[in-house]
Amino acid sequence: ETGVTQTPRHLVMGMTNKKSLKCEQHLGHNAMYWYKQSAKKPLELMFVYNFKEQTENNSVPSRFSPECPNSSHLFLHLHTLQPEDSALYLCASSQSSGGYEQYFGPGTRLTVT
């Protein structure tokens, strides 16, 4: 997946830690997304950014804080997470209009201990 990259690929963190997930897209897209994939909900949209502006927050708890400094980069800042937040976090990007095809990164597997 050279189009959309995510780092780290694996992360283990304690409930009191603060960490960040990074996503970068090399496709010239202007919309970026964070998804959560877990045993309970296979692919759940968390946040949408369009031209660096957040256009959707799908009722995500404040312990998840997204940041989009430019159209190519997207971060997900994590703090005071719970064990039930353990999941695969996927980043995707797409064109902003008429571009319903989303390109996904490989994901970050997060384990909260």
Partner 1 sequence: GESVGLHLPTLSVQEGDNSIINCAYSNSASDYFIWYKQESGKGPQFIIDIRSNMDKRQGQRVTVLLNKTVKHLSLQIAATQPGDSAVYFCAETLVYNAGNMLTFGGGTRLMVKP
- In the Cβ-directed half-sphere of 70, how many Cα atoms lie within 13 Å? 5
Q: Which of residues 56-75 bind partner 1 (CB under 8 A)?
A: 56
Q: Does 84 bind partner 1 (CB under 8 A)?
A: no
> Considering beta carbons, is residue 21 or 48 the nearer one to partner 1?
48
Shortest Å distance, C-beta 92 to partner 1: 7
For partner 1, the closer of residues 16 and 48 by Cβ is 48
Give the C-alpha separation, 23 to 12, whole Å: 18
Binding mask 20-49 for partner 1 (x = CB under 8 A): -----------xxx---xxx--xxxx--xx
Tell me if 5 sits within 8 A of 104, measured CB to CB: no
Look at strands 73-79 and 18-25 and give their pairing. antiparallel
